[in-house]
Amino acid sequence: MESANTPAPDIISASLVVKFMKILIRLFKSLSGYGRQLAGLVACIVLVTATSLVTPSIIQYVIDDGLTKNHPRAMLTAGLIIVAVGFVRAVFNLGKRYIGEWLVNRSGYDYRNALYEKIQRLSFGYHDHTQTGQLMSRCTEDVSSLSRFVGQGAVDLVNVILLFAGIVFLLFRQSATLTLIGLGPLLVLATLTYYLGHLLGPLFLKVDQALGDLSAALQENLSGVQVVRAFASEDFEKGKFDAANRKLYGARVHIVTTWGMFLPAMTWLVMAATVLVLWFGGRMVMAGTLTLGELVAFNAYLLLLAAPVQQLAFVVNSAGEAVAGGQRIFEILDLPEEISSPPQALALPPLTGRVTFENVSFAYRSERRALHDVSFEALPNQIIALIGPTGSGKTSLVNLIPRFYDATTGAVRVDGYDVRGVNLKSLRSQIGLVLQTSLLFSVSIRENIAYGRAQAAADEVVAAAAKAARAHDFIARLPEGYDTVVGERGITLSGGQRQRVAIARALLLNPRILILDDSTSSVDTQTEYLIQQALAELMQGRTTFVIAQRLSTVKRADLILVLDGGRIVQRGTHDSLLAEGGLYKEIYDLQLKDQDKFRREMLFLDAAPEHVRAIHESPLQPHADRPEPHVAPDTQPLRPSAVK
């Protein structure tokens, strides 16, 4: 059911014509590098059209000079000419089809690359508000629709225009009166086809949007398959996918229904044109003003024109898809790049690691203020711990350093350079990240470690990265070692193993600034110890920002920044902040005190006589406030004294 606010058809038509012309112009501009192929395609179209126009004239010659005058030689000559013309037409028709398909695939290749490159450059802010499935749909279905029109729909359109011009010229040469009579229904057909095109354009846009929603639903379900299974929500997800699928089905059926309603009228108009020509042309033959051969040729030309005019429905169909797809593609390509290197941007020299925040405030697109007037300085090789309640702005703060987002006010500087004025690649190549849930790609472990340095030698991957990250031992035990291919997002590895591979990846990059997002918060004690060893190796000689929830990380920080509501409410060392009280002491008492108590008990037991340890460790005398340390089954238990 159409909305009551639907614009009038003439307004819709005008807007669609403008959109179509803009997209058509951009298409031709994008094909400017393929001049030879376009010239060859146009030549093939012209020659195919010319050979099509020759055949009815030959039939006229056979009837008027061969049959009527009883000249067998004329019939033989005409037959040979038709065979030759048919051969030439077949050759150039093959050339037209080949070049058209080449342009379909080449333009699709170019647009997919352009879209992918653009998406890589779009800011995190854009990706925060855009569904992945919609982007996937634009890179696949929309590109296919646009590229198909380049090599098929546009070719058919040019063919129809040339054929129409040639046939109308030849028909008027024979009989202007009969031409006007025969073309009447065909002009109505062309008008009907034009109107159909403007009805289909918005419908194809709905199809593309519905397809994007379906892709988004599928992508979310596959990405969250573990959550779906864990909550037994298969039926709910099935219903959600079915709703998106039904929306796509309904949009496509609407197009088919609309197109199907017009098709019988188009067929009837073609038949009406034939009847009118035969009726009035037959009378002209009987009156002697037209020969039988001319009437047959005239009707052949008319039928030759009727097929392409009827084919305009398919051209309109292709054009509607192209307009909808092009609109969604160019919407991405025309987006401004919010985060990009400025013109003549400075390439950063090797950094020392000094990071300065000068009165920095930051808000996301929703205008929710995430940081308020944040100022501090991290000196080279210092460890800066960020601590605070959820939503206090810790992640927002570290995301400004590699310029994933731009500060709303104030400036973020590295070694005195404003990050907004330097080359992005030179900045990010000197910053390493190890996130709480590190993403691994579905390639080999070796390729994952060498992701930032694809040309790294094998010994660098093993010795300089994997061994230092305490990952070499478990990698060596895998069936194919470093050539083992991990599952999507590294799902075939445990959380601790993924973290150590991510640390090895950061080590191989050898960054001057390191950002750690609570990399040990979700692993067991044994794995935490190994990761802490790897992190200690990784942090040596680097300026490190740590979003911390573990006491061991917080206590060795040179500077602790306590955030609350996007503001730095306290700063100092662990001891000075404990003495000061306030939010840090509250967090310490709630989250970190038990860790400290556990550490002291473990150190006490390690130093106590054997009979004291036996009493404390007896199952008859459990310590309710002391958690049982977890030991991975495939590793040796740690000595408590080794825990830092």
Q: Say if residues 362 and 408 touch (Cβ distance below 8 Å).
A: yes
Q: For the ranges 258-272, 304-318, 363-377, which has the lowest average pLDDT?
A: 304-318
Task: For residues 534 and 482, state if they share a domain.
Answer: no
Task: Please state, as a whole number, how many other Cβ atoms lie within 10 Å of the Cβ of residue 515.
Answer: 24
Contact of 519 with 533, CB cutoff 8 Å:
no
pLDDT at 356: 94
pLDDT higher than 50, residue 613: no
How many structural domains compose the chain?
Answer: 3
- Which carries the bigger pLDDT value, residue 365 or residue 4? 365
Mean pLDDT is lowest, of 205-209, 251-255, 487-491, for 487-491
Q: Is residue 184 part of a domain?
A: yes
Q: What is the pLDDT of residue 229?
A: 62
Q: Establish if 368 belongs to a structural domain.
A: no
Got the DSSP string for 244-295?
Answer: HHHHHHHHHHHHHHHHHHHHHHHHHHHHHHHHHHHHHHHHHHHHTSS-HHHH
Where do runs of H (alpha helix) occur along 153-233?
A: 154-174, 176-223, 225-230
Res 227: pLDDT: 65
Whole-number average pLDDT of the chain: 76
- Residue 410 belongs to some domain of the structure: no
pLDDT for 341-390, tens place per residue? Answer: 888 888 999 999 899 999 999 988 756 778 999 999 999 989 899 988 88
Q: What percentage of the chain reaches a pLDDT higher than 90?
A: 10
In a domain, 415, yes or no: no
Domain membership of residue 186 (yes or no) is yes
**Domain of 458: which CATH number?**
3.40.50.300
Supply the DSSP string of 406-455, one letter for each residue.
--SEEEEEETTEEGGGB-HHHHHTTEEEE-TT----SSBHHHHHTSS-TT
* Domain presence at residue 355: no
- Domain endpoint, select from 279, 303, 333: 333
Which percentage of the chain shows pLDDT scores above 70?
A: 76
The answer to whether 360 touches 373, Cβ cutoff 8 Å, is yes
Q: Does one domain contain both 117 and 210? A: yes
470 and 593 belong to one structural domain: no
Residue 340 placed within a domain? no
The boundaries of the domain holding residue 447 are 439-510
517 and 501 fall within a common domain: no
CB-facing half-sphere around the CA of 536: CA atoms within 13 A: 12
Residue 3's pLDDT is 41
- Say if 620 falls within a structural domain: yes
- Residue finishing a domain among 448, 478, 510: 510
**pLDDT value for 621:** 37
Residues 390 and 454 placed together within one structural domain of the fold: no
Please determine, for residue 328, whether its predicted confidence score (pLDDT) is greater than 70.
yes
Are 272 and 327 contained in the same domain? yes
**587-604 average pLDDT score:** 63
> SS3 breakdown of the chain: % helix, strand, coil, rounded to 5?
65, 10, 25
Q: 629 pLDDT band (50/70/90 cuts)?
A: very low
**Is 184 found in the same domain as 214?**
yes
CATH label of the domain that carries residue 48: 1.20.1560.10
pLDDT value of position 487: 66
pLDDT in tens, 126-163: 766 677 767 777 777 788 878 888 877 788 888 888 88
Window from 4-18, 104-118, 497-511 with minimum mean pLDDT:
4-18
**What pTM does this model have?**
0.65
> Are 549 and 621 part of one and the same domain?
yes
The answer to whether the CB of 305 falls within 8 A of the CB of 163 is yes
CA distance 161 to 156: 9
**Residue 66 vs residues 62, 286, 383: alpha-carbon distances, Å:** 5, 20, 100
- For residue 190, the SS3 value is helix
Q: Are residues 278 and 246 in the same domain?
A: yes
pLDDT of residue 354: 93
Q: Read off the pLDDT of residues 10-56 as tens digits, 9 standing for 90 and up.
A: 434 455 567 667 777 877 788 888 888 889 998 999 998 888 888 78
Same domain, 119 and 215: yes
User: Using one digit for the tens of pLDDT, what is the confidence trace for 546-573?
Assistant: 887 666 667 788 899 999 988 999 999 8
* Residue 215 sits in the same domain as residue 139: yes
Say yes or no: 296 and 445 in one domain: no
Of 510, 533, 551, which residue constitutes the final position of a domain?
Answer: 510
